[in-house]
Amino acid sequence: MAENTAEPKAPKAPDFDFQAHEQPIFQAWKEHGFFQRGDGFGEHADDTYTIVIPPPNITGMLHMGHALNDTIQDACIRRARMQGYRTRWVLGTDHAGIATQTKVDKKLASEGISRLEIGREAFVEACYDWYKEYGATIVRQIEGMGCSCDYAHEHFTMEPAYVHAVREVFTRWYKEGLIYRGKRIVNWCPSCTTAIADDEAEYVPEEGHLWYLRYPLVEPEDGLDYIVVATTRPETMLGDTGVAVNPKDERFSHLVGKKVKLPLVDREIPIFADWHVDTEFGTGFVKVTPSHDPNDWAMGEKAGLPRINIFDETAHVVEGFGKFSGMDRDEAREAVVAAFDELGLLDHIEEHDHSVMTCYRCHTKLEPWESEQWFVAVDRLKEAAAKAVEDGSIQFHPARWKQVYLDWLANLKDWCISRQLWWGHRIPMFYCDECGWEDASVEEVDVCPVCGAPVRQDSDVLDTWFSSQLWPFATMGWAEEGMEAPEIRSAYPTQVLSTARDIMGLWVARMVMASEYCTGQIPFKDVIIHPTVMAADGKPMSKSRGNGVDPLQLMKDYGADGMRFGLLMQVTGAQDMRFNENKLVSSRNFANKIRNAARFVLMNLDGYTPGAPMAATDADSWIFARLGKLIEAVDAGFDAYEFSEVTRALNDFFWNEFCDWYIEFSKSRLAEGADPEDRLQCQRNLLFVLDRALRLLHPIMPFVTEEIYQQLPERETEYLIVAPWPKAEETAALGSDKAERAISLVVDVVSAVRSARSRYGISPRQELAAVVKAPAGDVELLQQQVPFISSLAKASSLTVALDAAKPAESSTAVASGLEIYTCLSGFVDFDAERARIKKELDKVSADAAKFEKKLSNPGFLAKAAEEIIQKDRAKLAELQDTRSRLAASLEELG
């Protein structure tokens, strides 16, 4: 009955068809309407509890991030439903502009056609066909997890009401000056041929170079014929319109105002001073290409430099640059460097590692590119979004993410919202080419209201994040009825948002900004930033690495319950979570333990009649007290969103206290010939504790708990999913502190004797004498339990005293203030045992010393792969633990 600490076995092919058991239960929940907002009960009868799912892309498949996040949300919504709230988990999918357009492009290409051939209207129709065919895939997979979303009211970011909401917000913001059009440097993807937001760019390391190029002075001075600039992108020199130096750089102050002749294009450009220049970079001279670098843009604006855009939308050099025209970026770089070398103007080249921005979808290097785009002026939206977090209206969990959010807002620049795509929310701007009229409109405009000529709509679509920022309220009828929509009035703001850290700025902050503006309220009260699920080696999961894990396969191997519980066991406050499949093995074993415990209770109900739970013995009082503390711990864990604490408390109680101890305490009371009245009370108590434990487990392990609940001889509700959540104070009132302490001492003593018997290979049937040295307050409690302890521990004798001395040749265990001595004389050859342990200790110590030496070697640490180092450190820790335990055993033997 000791705690189950064995290392989980590697998973084998399952011999249990989880899906066959889970699907009927899920369908029953769905058919009964439990997933829709229903009536509440108890103290929360009039309160709502709402979660909006982060809408998965219609191109998506369930991955480990989804599995973890959806488990967290479902656990929260199921508990709230059982607490009596009127709950609803809003379900929906995102149209995913770039991702879906890319998928449909590839599909059309496989059919031998392109979107350019079929035109915009037909292509958009093809995207809707894709949505109808594939959009529900991930929703079906979410169902397989047992997620209790409102499937009857699924939303889509391109449904008519949502489109109306998006156009409404754009039009309002445009008319209030929050949205404007202008030329700026944007991050441009030459492959997707669209702008990408700053925070959507991914930075990847690149082994590059620093090219030092000579720019001849128009008027040489004091023997100085040229200056040298350093650059990581020599191809952009074709668009240089200036050279900058730092105003404090005394080396070159005399050259400010002079001009250089730009090689290859024969352009005269000025040397000027600007504080952006880092005197430590390169030579101190910086080439300035305003159309291809945001810092250069800022310097160029201040200095009044012209802007020359040298690339087209596919990053090929435009016409007007001689032999370089038509070359792509890489070709132009090679050709420019070669041309400088031929002219004797290539000074030298240095290796220079740096980071480059890539497209988050196709991973092409992004091009800083001057382009006319639509922007949101964020300064007027940021203040309210920051205040909502600063004053605690919105709480982050873990709390450290609060400052990350505030820092992101503080550094936020105007947001580029236009995308050069066909699939998405088309920008609702209309133009008259006849008279020049233009305006935003929620409704379609066909003719110019000024001159009556036909009008055209803007060809760009909105950034997907622009539409998804409206998700919390646009899914509640805001577009149709505004703040008077019944769902808005009764259920807004929502309670919880659970998401990953990588979209805290892209989505979370923007939802707060949009909601504050459109509704005057925050969109949610609590934000859970769950850890990112990494592979076991700590690296990001990806197809290219081959280290991804498929949640669908995990559910086949471990069941939805096993996967859910195993995932939440690993959720701590850490930023990343190394996925450990052994946790799922443990969870599957735990589910089996729950089934076996329930089977024991249900098989021992002969003569059972319903009745109230009552403490007929100290063991009853103990389990009621422990159950009350479990409810407190689970409530505290849920309220703080500390899910690993919840799973730990549930596992410890059910496996150890209920199964290993209380059920064993109950066996003699259920046996043939036992007192009938006590047997009946024991049955009632077992059912009560099992019922309450199932309720506490249900939010995380919904299937196995519902399956067992349906077999109980009496149920408070037809289905566990809507059974009332247990109350700690009501349960604890059935127990007593005194009995709890007494049985806790019993458990400690019995465990110590059994552990000694196991440690020294003594038969479980062999009776052993034991002596317990106890504090004054516990002596009487333990003496009252001596017959009970002797029976459970198979003790030939048991002495309990305040000043008990350790017998010769006995083992020692310390627990809860007790010193427990188990007499081993006559059962253990102490000389042989000492020799055996000493030999094993010497070997383990020698092995540990080798690893300690290896891991203290700087050369090894510098050259070895990280996974090898981590493996060796884990092995050393294991050896050190074994060494400590062997040393303790040797000391115990004298």
Quick one: 215 and 308 in the same domain? yes
* Distance, CA of 311 to CA of 189 (rounded, Å): 12
**Whether residue 513 has pLDDT greater than 90:** yes
- Whether residues 224 and 305 fall in one domain: yes
Number of domains into which the chain is organized: 5
Query: 733-737, long-range: CB within 8 Å, 24+ apart, which pairs?
Result: 733/628, 734/613, 734/614, 734/615, 734/620, 734/621, 734/624, 734/628, 735/615, 735/620, 735/621, 735/622, 735/623, 735/624, 735/625, 735/626, 735/627, 735/628, 736/615, 736/621, 736/625, 737/625
CA distance 866 to 537: 9
Domain assignment of residue 750, yes or no: yes
Residue 555 lies in a domain: no
Specify the DSSP element, H or E, that contains 638.
Answer: helix 618-639
Structure confidence by residue, pLDDT tens digits, 256-285: 999 999 999 999 999 999 988 988 888 999
The CATH number of the domain holding residue 800 is 3.30.2320
CATH number at residue 850: 1.10.287
Q: Is the pLDDT of residue 4 over 60?
A: no
How much is the pLDDT for 356? Answer: 85
Residue 527's domain comprises: 18-167+468-539
**Same domain, yes or no, for 212 and 342?**
yes
- Binding site annotation covers 543? yes
Instruction: Report the chain's mean pLDDT, rounded to a whole number.
Output: 91
In a domain, 193, yes or no: no
Q: Which residue has the tokens 């679509």?
A: 461
Distance CA 84, CA 501 (A): 31
**681 and 730 part of one domain:** yes
pLDDT average, residue stretch 407-434: 94
pLDDT in tens, 570-591: 998 888 888 889 999 999 999 9
pLDDT above 70 as % of the chain? 98
Which tokens hold the place of 345? 């103007």
Asked if residue 148 is part of any domain, the answer here is yes
Kindly state whether residues 211 and 264 are assigned to the same domain: yes
Same domain, 125 and 216: no
End position of a domain, from candidates 358, 373, 397: 358
Residue 556 inside a domain? The answer is no
| Residues 363-380 pLDDT 10s | 888 888 888 999 999 999
What are the pLDDT digits (tens) for 146-182? 999 999 999 999 999 999 999 999 999 999 999 999 9
In terms of domains, do 717 and 753 share one?
Answer: no
Average pLDDT over residues 288-315: 92
Does pLDDT of 6 surpass 70?
no
In a domain, 370, yes or no: no
Q: How far apart are CA 460 and CA 869, in angstroms?
A: 51
Query: In the 8-state DSSP scheme, what is residue 376?
Result: E
Cβ neighbours for 208, distance < 8 A, ≥ 6 positions apart:
232, 351, 352, 353, 354, 356
Q: Within this chain, do residues 111 and 242 fall inside the same structural domain, yes or no?
A: no
Q: Tell which of 735, 757, 772 closes a domain.
A: 735
* 703 has pLDDT over 70: yes
Q: Given this model, what pLDDT does residue 890 score? A: 79
Do the domain assignments include residue 410?
no
Instruction: Give the pLDDT confidence score for residue 470 in this predicted structure.
Output: 98
Residue 266 shares a structural domain with residue 245: yes
Q: Do 32 and 70 meet the contact criterion of CB atoms below 8 Å apart?
A: no
Q: Final residue of a domain: which of 804, 828, 852?
A: 828
More confident residue, 232 or 15: 232
SS3 label, residue 352: strand
Q: Do residues 96 and 43 share a domain? A: yes
pLDDT band at 353 (very low <50, low <70, confident <90, very high): confident
Is the pLDDT at 199 greater than 70? The verdict is no
Instruction: Examine the pLDDT at 11 and tell me if it is beyond 60.
Output: no
Residue 58 belongs to domain with CATH number: 3.40.50.620
Residues 833/893, Cβ–Cβ less than 8 Å: yes
Q: Is 480 within the bounds of a domain? A: yes
CA distance 488 to 474: 9
Q: What single DSSP character describes residue 652?
A: I
Residues 224 and 131 in one domain: no
Domain shared by 573 and 705, yes or no: yes
